[in-house]
Structure 1
Amino acid sequence: MTDPGRTGCAVVGGGPAGMMLGLILARCGVEVTVLEKHADFLRDFRGDTVHPSTLTLLDELGLFERFDAIPHSRLDRVELPVGGQLVTTVDFGRLRQPHPYVAMVPQWDFLNLLAAAGAEEPNFTLRLSTAVTGLLRDDAGRIVGVRHTGPDGDGELRAELTVAADGRSSILRAAAGLVPTQWPVPFDVLWFRLPRDAAGDYSLLPRTMPGRAIIMIPRVGYFQIAYLIPKGSADGLRARGLDEFKRELAVLAPECSTDGLTDWADVHLLNVELNRLPRWHRDGLLCIGDAAHAMSPAGGVGVNVAIQDAVAAARLLYRPLREHRVTDADLAAVQRRRTPATVATQLFQRVLHRVLLAPVLSGFDVSKPGPVITVGAALLRRVPALSGLPARLIGTGLRAERLPDPARR
C-alpha cells in the first residue's frame, strides 16, 4: 500500500507545468503527487493558448483526439493594424508542425484532460484542496518535502524531489530563499468578460487606442477580455468611474454589450511581472514555469514555456528519480537546458514592450506609425516569410523539448 505521507516527487501547483510534469513522470514509472490548493481548475485568470509544440506533445501522449473534441477555436495568424492596413506579423501556417496553429481553449478544460489522463496511471496522485504551507528539511538542510493543509487538517508529504510549479507568487521559492531578478513592465491587465455573438467570426486581433489596448479571447458564449493599461494606472481608471470605462470599451469593442458590467468587482486587476531566477534550484527543490521565470502576457507564450520546462525536467530527471539518486547536479542540468529558450523568449517580450506596447500605452497613435514600425511593416509586406520567425518563437520556442520514450502512447 502506498504511504500517503511519502512520494517520489511532490509537485506543488496544478497548473499546466505541474500537471504535465506529474503525468509524464508517472508514465515513466515515478511515484508522483501533485498538490493543488483549489478544489478544481475553474479559474479565469489563466492563459487559454495551447501552442503547436504542446499540440505535438498531446499527439505523442496519445491525448490529441481527446483534446480535439473539446470546443475550441484556432488562431492561424496574428495581424496588427499599421498605418490603416493590417500586417501579418505572425503566421503559424509557416511552421513545419503537425498542428500549425494556436488552439484557444479554456485552461480548465486542458487541465481536466491532463488530470483524467493522470488518473489512469497507478503512480499518479492528485490532491485537490491541499495548500502547501512550507518546506521540510533534514538535519543537513536538504529539502525533503512539504508541509500542507487541507480538508483533513495539517500534514506533511516527504519526497525525494519537490518541484515548485506554484506560479509567480511561489510560496516554495520564497521559503527556499530564491529571489528572482525583475525587469520593468509598462502595463497591467484588467481581466473581465463580455458577451459574444456566436454567429460572429472573430480572431485574436489586438485592438488599440491611445493609452489602451485590448485582446479579446474567444470562449464559448463570451469573450474573455484582457484590457491593457499603463502600469500603476488602475486606481486612476477606477476613480473616473465605471461609466467612463464602459465608454472606452464601446470604442474598442463596439460589437459587445457592456450592460453586464455593473460593478468594479466584475473587473479584476492582474499585476504583470517579468522576472527570472538566477538559480532555479536548491538541494531537493526545483522551480519551473512562472515560479522560475514569470512571463509577460506579450505573445501569449507563458503556458508554452512552462510546459516545455516540465517536459525537459521529466526527461532529465525520471531515471534519477526511479533509481533514487537525484542530485543537485541533475537539477542544475534542467536549468542549463531551459535557460537559453527562457532568455530568448523574455528578450522577445521586452522588445515587444519597448517597440509596441509602451508607445501605445503612453498615448502613441498606431494610425501614425514611427520609423521602426513603418520599416518593419514594409519588410513584412515585402518578405511575408519573415512572419514565420516570430511564429517559431511563439509557437514552439527556441527549443522544442522531446517527450521521454516511456511516456509516449
Structure 2
Amino acid sequence: MTPDVIVAGAGAGGLATARALGALGLRVLVLDRQRTPASIAKGEILQPETVRILDTWGALDALRATGARPVGRLAIRDPQGSPLLALDYAALPGPYRQILCADYADLRTVLADGLAATVEVRWGQRVTGVLRADDRRVTGVRVTGVGGDQEIRAPLVVAADGMSSALRKAVGVAVDRREYPHGLVAFDLPGADVADEVSAYRTNRGLCLVYPLPGGRCRLYVQVTPDEFRGRSPAELTGWCDRLLVDVPAIGALETALRASLHRRQLLAVYRLRAARLSVPGLALVGEAAHAVHPMAAQGVNSSLADAETLAATLAASGGTLDAAGVDRALLDFHAARRPRLDHVATVSHNASRMITSVSGLPKLLGARMMRRTAANPRLLGLTAGNLSGTNVRPLSLVDRLYQLGLLVDRHARPPATPAPQRSERR
C-alpha cells in the first residue's frame, strides 16, 4: 500500500486518528514499535464528549458490549467517604450525560475493529526519524523492524507515539514537560464491584481514586512518594496496605481484593506535558506526543480522541486534497482549533489535581477552601462539570476564581459547609 497518511503509534490516539482519517477514504498506514499491544492502567474514564465521538464513529455500541460501566457522578470525598464536592453529570445539557468506565484494551480493540479497509496496522515497526524535502517539509518516515530498515513516504505524517515521541524530537518541536512530585500506584481489583461513581478521596496521603471496570472489577489509584515502593519486602507491602486502610476507611470493602493484588501493582510516574506546536509542515502531533495531564481529571485519552476528530474535520474542510499546500493549511487549522481547548484542559486538570493531591502547606489549605466554595455554588458546580465532561466548555472567569477563594461572596451560593476535622496521625 502506498499510504496517504502514516500514523506512528497504535495506542488509542493513533487508532482513533486512523479510524477518523480512514473514514475520509484516505489510505492510512499505522506503525507501532510493540509486537503486541502493551497492557497499562490508563485511558479508562471516558468523558461524555468522548462518548459522543465514539457514537458519531459508530463505535459506542461495540464498546458498551464489552461491559463498559456507565457512571453518572464524580465525587470528591473525605477519607470516611463523606462527600466534599459532587458533580452530577445527569444535569449536563445534551444527550451525553454519563462517563463510561472501560478497559483501555477494549477501547483499542473497538477502534481497531472499526478501521476502514483502507487502513493497515503493522506491529513491530519502530519509527526512528523523518524524511524531509529540500524546504524541510516532512514527507515520510524512517522505520526499522521486521524486514529491516526502510523509508516510507506519505503526504501526511501523524505522531501519536507518546510522551517520548521520536517524531516530535526529530522535527524539533520543543516541549514543556514537568513531573509531579508524587507518583501513583495502580491496582486492578477483581471481585471488587463498587458503586457507579468515580470517587476521589482527599486524604492526608493525597489522592485515592476508585472507579468501576467491566467484569465486576474496579481500579484503585493511590498517591505515593517516588520511593515509597522501592525495595519493599512482602511484609513491608502488607504494612503499607494496613496503613492505607487506616488512612482511608472508606475503601475498607476493597481490603481482601487489595491484599491479593499487592504483587500485581503498576507504579506510574505522573507528568504534565505541552508541546510548543501541534503541527509542522507535513506532520501533526496527537495525543501524548503533544499533551499530557494529571490522571485525576480524566482528560488524557479524551483529548486524544478529540485530536483525531478535529484533524479529520480540518482535512475534510480543506477539500480533502493531499497536495502539500492543502495538507499544511489543514494542519495550521488543526493547531488553531485544538490549542485553546488543550490549554484549557491543561489548566482545569492541573487545578483539579492540586486540590486533591496537595498534602501540606498553603496548597492544601487553598485546595480545601476552593473545594468547599465550589461545592456550595451550583453555578460553579455546573461550570466544573461542563468543563470536565467536555460537553459545555466555558473557562472560569477571574470573578469565578475569586468566588472559589472566598475573596468575593456570590449571593446565589449556599454557605460553605464547615469541614470535619481529619485525623492527622499515621500508623
TM-score of the two chains, using structure 1 as the length reference: 0.84
Relative to structure 2, which stretch is displaced further, 297-306 or 176-185? Answer: 176-185
SS at match of 1:109: helix
Shift of 1:110: 1.2
- Correspondence for 2:108: 111
Answer whether contact 2:156 2:283 (CA < 8 A) is retained. Answer: yes
Matches within 5 A, 1:221-236: 221-230=216-225, 232-234=226-228
Q: 1:217 to 1:163 in 2, by over 3 A?
A: same
1:141 aligns to what?
136
SS in 2 for 1:272: strand
Distance (whole Å) between structure 1 residues aligned to residue 332 and residue 184 of structure 2: 34
Partner of 1:285: 283
Q: Which residue of 2 aligns with 1:357?
A: 357
Letter in 2 for 1:284: G
2:389 corresponds to: 395
Local SS of the residue matching 1:241: helix
Contact 1:40 1:128 in 2 (8 A): yes
Per the alignment, in what secondary structure is the counterpart of residue 172 of structure 2? coil
Distance in 2 (alpha carbons) for counterparts of 1:110 and 1:262: 26
1:218 matched residue in structure 2: 212
Structure 1 residues 398 and 40, CA gap change in structure 2 (3 angstroms): farther
Within 5 Å, give how 1:6-405 maps onto structure 2: 6-41=2-37, 43-81=39-77, 85-118=82-115, 121-183=116-178, 185-198=180-193, 200-201=194-195, 203-219=197-213, 220-230=215-225, 232-234=226-228, 238=232, 241-251=236-246, 252=248, 253-256=251-254, 257=256, 258-261=258-261, 263=263, 266-318=264-316, 320=318, 322-327=320-325, 328-358=328-358, 360=359, 362=360, 370=365, 373-374=368-369, 376-378=371-373, 380-381=375-376, 383-396=377-390
Cα distance in structure 2, aligned partners of 1:83 and 1:23: 42
Q: What is the rounded CA distance, in whole Å, between the counterparts of 2:94 and 2:393 in structure 1?
A: 14
Residue-by-residue CA offset, 1:2-34 (whole Å, 9 max, x unaligned): x3xx31011111122211111111111211112
CA contact (8 A) 1:41 1:112 kept: no
| Displacement of 1:323 | 1.9
**Uncovered stretches (5+) of structure 1, i.e. residues with no partner:** 401-409
Structure 1 Cα separation of the partners of residues 175 and 347 of structure 2: 16
Larger RCO, structures 1/2 (Cα 8 Å, 6+ apart): 1
Distance in 2 (alpha carbons) for counterparts of 1:292 and 1:102: 24
* C-alpha spacing 1:50/1:375, structure 2 compared with 1 (3 Å): closer
User: Which 10-residue stretch deviates more, 72-81 or 203-212?
Assistant: 203-212
Equivalent position amino acid for 2:30 in 1: V
SS of 2:25's partner is coil
- CA–CA distance in structure 2, aligned partners of residues 213 and 83 of structure 1: 10
Any conservation in 2 of the 1:144–1:284 contact (CA below 8 Å)? yes
Q: In 2, distance between residues paired with 1:291 and 1:279? A: 11
- 1:53-104 CA-partner distances (Å, limit 9, x unpaired): 1211222223322222220212211122259741343221121132201100
Report deviation, 1:112: 0.8
Q: Does structure 1 retain, via aligned residues, the 8 Å contact 2:53–2:305?
A: no
What root-mean-square deviation, in Å, do the aligned CA atoms of Structure 1 and Structure 2 show? 2.9
Cα distance 1:353–1:55, how it changes in 2: closer, same or farther (>3 A)?
closer
CA separation of 1:324/1:262 partners in 2, compared to 1, >3 Å: closer, same or farther?
closer
Residues matched between the structures, number: 384
Distance 2:227 2:9 in 1: 30
SS in 1 for 2:197: coil
Match of 2:399 in 1: none
Q: CA deviation at 1:127?
A: 1.7
CA shift in 2, pair 1:153/1:97, >3 Å: farther
Q: Specify the SS of the correspondent of 1:43.
A: coil
Tell me if the contact between 1:52 and 1:97 (Cα under 8 Å) persists in the aligned partners.
Answer: no
Match of 1:403 in 2: none
2:154 alignment partner, SS class? strand
User: 2:28, 2:366 → 1: CA distance?
Assistant: 53
User: Sequence identity, in percent?
Assistant: 25
Give yes or no for contact 2:278–2:339 (8 Å, CA) kept in 1.
no
Contact 1:188–1:272 (Cα < 8 Å) also in 2: yes
In structure 2, distance between residues paired with 1:154 and 1:97: 50
Task: Report the CA distance shift for 1:262/1:107 in structure 2 as closer, same or farther (over 3 A).
Answer: closer
SS in 1 for 2:199: coil
1:202-227 C-alpha deviation (Å, 9 max, x unpaired): 53212343124221232224333222
Post-superposition offset of 1:124: 1.4
Q: Distance in 2 between matches of 1:225 and 1:83?
A: 14
Amino acid at match of 1:56: R
| AA of the residue aligned to 1:336 | A
Q: Given the two structures, how large is their TM-score scaled by the length of structure 2? A: 0.81
After superposition, the Cα gap between the structure-2 partners of 1:237 and 1:195, relative to the gap in structure 1 and judged at 3 Å, is farther
Contact between 1:277 and 1:292, CA under 8 Å: does it hold in 2? Answer: yes
